[in-house]
A and B are shown apart, each in its own frame.
Chain A
Amino acid sequence: MSKPKVGFFDFASCEGCQIELTNYGDAPFLELLNHIDIVEFREAMSEKADHLDIACIEGSFTREADRARLESIRARADIVIAYGACAATGGINGLKNHQEDYKKFVYGKDADMPHLDTQKAMPISAAIKVDYSVHGCPMDKYEFLDIVSHLVHGKEPVIPNHPVCMECKLNETICRYQEGDHCMGVVARAGCNAPCPADGIPCEACRGFVDNPNEKALKKVLMENGGLSEYRAENKSRMFTATLRSDA
């Protein structure tokens, strides 16, 4: 692919994955611009484009009203990348999916107003076809480079499908369970290089589950090894993996 035209779009999200693009530093970012042509990016630019080789979409699909905008982006893009956890899995926005009364709780008597008519937070793949996903909250800016680099060179990007535990072992990070904590790393999709356990906090599985996670074993480990109550163990995986649970 010769110098692809790339666009960035956002839906229900914090736009933090877009901000990550500004964190490369001057030399790497300017070098990136030698290989891709950023032609549309509302958060950073006023210009618009017609055709896109790659559309990077941040944010979850949370209201029917957004379907048409997603479809129009899909229609003018050759490749769609779900850019970050909200787009790839629904991300943190799915944390309200099991609640019935969330609108009433936040908006009280105004809860029935039409603009608040949101549905369950879903990955954008619930509305349009997604070709690749950059996982993570935030997405890893070097993994994004890796995926774009593969595409520019006409290669298939490799998205990891092993648990975060493997990365902690390689990094020689002491296991959170050994520290008397709990952790989702046993079922979480790796690829981030496990920064959270290294920083002394549990993995929250922001990159989603590996394929076919053993949810029953997860709950057991969270209770028996992590000391969580049954209530917390049952609800732990709603944080970033609500849409991937078998009861979703």
Chain B
Amino acid sequence: MKKNINIDVHHLTRVEGHGNIKVNVTEGKIEECKWEVPEAPRFFEAMVRGRHYTEVARITSRICGICSVGHTLASVKATENALGIEVTPQTKILRNILKHAENFDSHVVHVGVLVAPDLLGAPSVFPLVATHGDVVKLVLKLKRLGHEWGSLIGGRTTHPTTVVPGGFSRIPTEADIKLVKEKILENVEGIHALAATVASLAPKIPAFDRPTEYMALHSDEEYGLYDGCIQTIMPDGTKEKYDVQNYKSVTNEWVSPNSTAKYTKNKLSSYAAGALARFNNNYDQLHPEAKKLAEVLGMKPVCGNPYLNSAAQVVEIAHSAYEAIRLIDELLEVGIKDEELVAPTKFSTGAGATEVPRGILFHEYTYDENGICQGGNCIIPTNQNHANIQDDFDKIVPELLEAEKTEEEMTLALEMLVRAYDPCISCSTHYLDVTFVK
């Protein structure tokens, strides 16, 4: 039967920022199938002009309240590259523990508050307080852990205070670090309980397969998160590495005549960033406990089901908890020293990258001889995923039509697909939002 379908989801709920889904099928023929981004532009790259290098991360942190730790870290790393600053090993390890806190924290919100309602058949987390009180309590408890863990190192988790170019403005004490470890250990059981809950709901995660190019940071020393080079993995498993300073040649921002958001691409028409991209690139370096969870969730690299990004987040929740404990032990063994900030040695242009919960993030700045910023460029993961979401739409909509899904079922499938990417549209520093007359 030739079907008519009209899906128009204006301001999709349970995502950060504003996005629309539009699908129009007339007598079985797809007329329109679009992922749109109508967020108000905020012009951060222009805002940093004229500001002193000590202020820049404090400004660009405000790009996103959910991944403000990551924006701060990418920003100070870019500034440090531009200013010829090499931070100390202690700074790197502390920032790494802080980065793990953010990924843990954000993944808990995404899996527990934004995705869980879809899997449990509720419109939001609030009705779950009555029906699944234990799950809600557990999620709030783990969220609090992420917040305390990050705050003990970064001062706070929404717009951290202590992370500055050259090091830390206030170095956490050994007691702080021990407390972080203690709090994580108290919650290990809860982390496994959350993973078990998601595993029990895994049959509700749609089966869909569209392997793409996956981009993430890679480090030889650990599962790439705070630092590393750019790496991509293709559906056949071939990997290629790139220097962060050449990020523009890997992201290749472009404007599609058929779409609303600014797209990126590397080897294919789109690539994916995020937990699944990290999992596919760096699976071998996951903590053994996280690998065990991946097995329970039935995940192996290269995994081509974008819906499983949420499952990859669960794997990373465990990885971050266990890795943070390992890093804290490493730090406590040598002891925490009081260190001065490392001073600039030059003023030039530099880029920095870090993995935020939603994927690889790039910042770049240019400074004049007085340390005043001349301009910046930020490429955020959600923008890098827009083209990939559109390509997923182009494959899944015909499949859903073929399977004779109702309009309601299709809407849920598409909403869940976008949500799986955990888009953080408020992050979007620049994109193009054009409505085309058909």
> Which residues does A use to contact B, with CB under 8 Å?
10-20, 22-26, 29-30, 33, 38, 41-47, 59, 62-63, 66, 91-93, 95-96, 99, 101-103, 105-107, 110, 113, 115-116, 118, 137-138, 195-196, 198-201, 204, 229, 232, 235, 239
Contacts and interface: CB of A to CB of B under 8 A. Distances in A.
Contacts of B430: 106-107
A127 to B, nearest CB: 13
A201 B13 contact: no
A95 B426 contact: no
Nearest to A105: B46
A16 B424 CA distance: 11
B126 A38 contact: yes
Contacts of B136: 26, 30
| Listed residue (A101, A196, A201, A229) with the most chain B CB atoms within 10 angstroms of its CB | A201
Nearest to B432: A110
B78 to A, nearest CB: 17
A101 B375 CA distance: 12
Given A14-B63, A17-B65, A96-B46, 8 more contacts: A22-B143, A42-B11, A66-B40, A96-B47, A102-B43, A107-B430, A201-B58, A235-B51
Contacts of B68: 14, 16
A19 B40 CA distance: 19
Given A204-B58, A232-B52, A106 B46 contact: yes
A26 B38 CA distance: 34
B433 A115 contact: yes
B147 interface: yes
A103 B55 contact: no
Contact of B434 (A29, A38, A115, A232): A115
B285 interface: no
Q: Give the 3 A-B residue pairs with the shortest CB-CB distance, closest first.
A: A16-B65, A45-B124, A200-B169
A110 B255 contact: yes
Given A42-B13, A47-B123, A62-B40, A26 B64 contact: no
B50 interface: yes
A113 B123 CA distance: 36
22 contacts: A12-B40, A14-B62, A15-B17, A15-B65, A17-B65, A17-B158, A18-B65, A22-B143, A43-B14, A91-B62, A92-B62, A96-B47, A99-B49, A102-B46, A105-B49, A106-B46, A107-B432, A115-B38, A116-B41, A201-B161, A201-B162, A204-B58
| Listed residue (B17, B141, B164) with the most chain A CB atoms within 10 angstroms of its CB | B17
Contact of B47 (A22, A95, A198, A229): A95
Contacts of A14: 62-66, 68, 426-427
B159 interface: yes
Contacts of B51: 235, 239
A23 B143 contact: yes
B65 A105 contact: no
B42 interface: yes
B136 to A, nearest CB: 8
A83 to B, nearest CB: 12
B45 interface: yes
Interface residues of B, number: 64
Nearest to B63: A14
Contacts of A38: 126
A44 B375 contact: no
Contacts of A44: 13-14, 113-114, 124-126
B47 A200 contact: no
A16 B158 contact: yes
Nearest to A97: B47
A104 B274 CA distance: 30
Contacts of A47: 123-124, 126
Contacts of A204: 55, 58
A137 B62 contact: yes
A16 B159 contact: yes
Interface in B228-284: 255
B157 interface: yes
Contact of A118 (B15, B41, B49): B41
Contacts of A20: 65, 158
B140 interface: yes
A145 B432 CA distance: 38
A185 B285 CA distance: 46
B301 interface: no
B126 A99 contact: no
Contacts of B129: 30, 33
Interface string B120-152: 000111100100000011101101100100000
B94 to A, nearest CB: 14
Contact of A199 (B38, B40, B41, B162): B162
A202 to B, nearest CB: 9
A43 B15 contact: yes
Contact of B59 (A33, A105, A239): A239
| Listed residue (A17, A25, A44, A196) with the most chain B CB atoms within 10 angstroms of its CB | A44
A246 to B, nearest CB: 20
B192 interface: no
Contact of B43 (A17, A66, A103, A199): A103
B22 interface: no
Nearest to B13: A46
B240 to A, nearest CB: 29
Contacts of A45: 13-14, 117, 123-126
Contacts of B141: 25-26
Interface string B324-348: 0000000000000000000000000
B155 interface: yes
